[in-house]
Homo-oligomer: A and B are copies of this chain.
Amino acid sequence: MLTATFAPPVCVLGLGLIGGSLLRAAAATGRHAWGYNRSPEVVHAARDLGFDASTDLTATLERAADANAIVVIAVPMPAVGSILEAIAEHAPDVALTDVVSVKSEMAAAVAAHGLSRRFVGGHPMAGTAESGWAASTVDLFRDAVWVVTVDDGTDPEVWQAVADLAIDCGSVVVPAESAEHDAAVARISHLPHVLAEALALAGAAGGDLALGLAAGSFRDGTRVAATAPALVDAMCEANASALLVALDETLAVLSAAREQLADGSTADLTRAGFDARARYDQQARVPITGVVPGEGDWLTALREAGRRGEVWAR
């Protein structure tokens, strides 16, 4: 990344799987990067590997304000409120982003602390079943999709800086409004978990005979049911209203299929499902062209491009 050494420094708040990986990835591009974590064990582990980390939130934020760093909120949603309070007190004017998996609730929390002016939401669609600093890696974001929000009032310079950071970390940037992001991930990330849990239950209700006959379709369809329940709860519950929409739609689809099956046919469901899966398989990552952040109706243009499945390239 030729531009990276001229890029703004990065201050990461929270050094778990995502925040830790971001500190590693940002440092690897040659940026000045430092992090905060409340746990001394995590901070020592990061320092032992040569990273710049601290348990002092106030000092970390004052340094970010002095250096005009991008501040990245990388703590779980329940901890976001107290972090935003500290930012409002010690670094109210920094460029601000986050890596939390729900975007509307995050944007609302930022607004409640009067920090919306220089905030642009982010969500790298990367993760593993692991968590914590020990699981973080420099290449977690390589070839991942990183959503960067384009809500009304977005500052174009901050947007560009956040998109650059995502691209420096190896990701592809997809622009989306916060509410659209939440609706989309409910469909393709949270609903799959709900259906996998339900399928696992249906199989186990058939006892060891059914489980003993299970092959590829059951194994693949239940794979994510092996995820730690608390992680699935955290994702689904934080995005409950969007997930309810997707789940209600699916209940209606399955109820209609049930009625057709009672009449002896599954043809409508299987044809529509086959076409839907084919559309997924045929997706291509077309680069967005002709949009300059800050020029013209750039937010509308980026939203429309994101809806077409296009990606932001530098």
Contact = CB atoms under 8 A, between A and B. Distances in A.
Interface of A: 125, 145, 147, 174, 176, 180-181, 183-185, 187-189, 191-230, 232-233, 236-237, 240, 243-244, 246-251, 253-255, 257-258, 261-262, 264-267, 269-281, 283, 285, 306-309, 311
Contacts of A258: 244, 247-248, 251
Contacts of A255: 251
Contacts of A183: 206, 210
A306 B274 CA distance: 34
Contact of A250 (B212, B244, B254, B277): B254
B200 A188 contact: no
Contacts of A285: 212
A263 to B, nearest CB: 9
Given A145-B213, A196-B221, A309-B211, A266 B233 contact: yes
Given A201-B273, A254-B198, A266-B237, A208 B307 contact: yes
A189 to B, nearest CB: 6
Given A184-B209, A240-B261, 11 more contacts: A176-B209, A189-B214, A194-B269, A197-B257, A201-B253, A212-B306, A216-B224, A217-B224, A236-B261, A236-B266, A248-B258
Nearest to A252: B198
A198 B260 CA distance: 14
A222 B209 CA distance: 25
A265 B237 contact: yes
Contacts of A307: 207-209
Contacts of A230: 270
The 6 residue pairs across chains A and B that have the minimum distance between CB atoms: A197-B273, A208-B309, A204-B276, A229-B270, A200-B276, A184-B210
A47 B72 CA distance: 69
Which of A212, A244, A261, A267 lies at the interface centre, i.e. has the most chain B CB atoms within 10 A of its CB?
A212
A280 B218 contact: yes
Contacts of A204: 275-276, 279-280
A217 B192 contact: yes
Nearest to A184: B210
Nearest to A127: B215
A267 to B, nearest CB: 6
A62 to B, nearest CB: 36
Contact of A224 (B220, B236, B244): B220
A220 B220 contact: yes
Contacts of A210: 183-185, 187-188
A271 B201 CA distance: 10
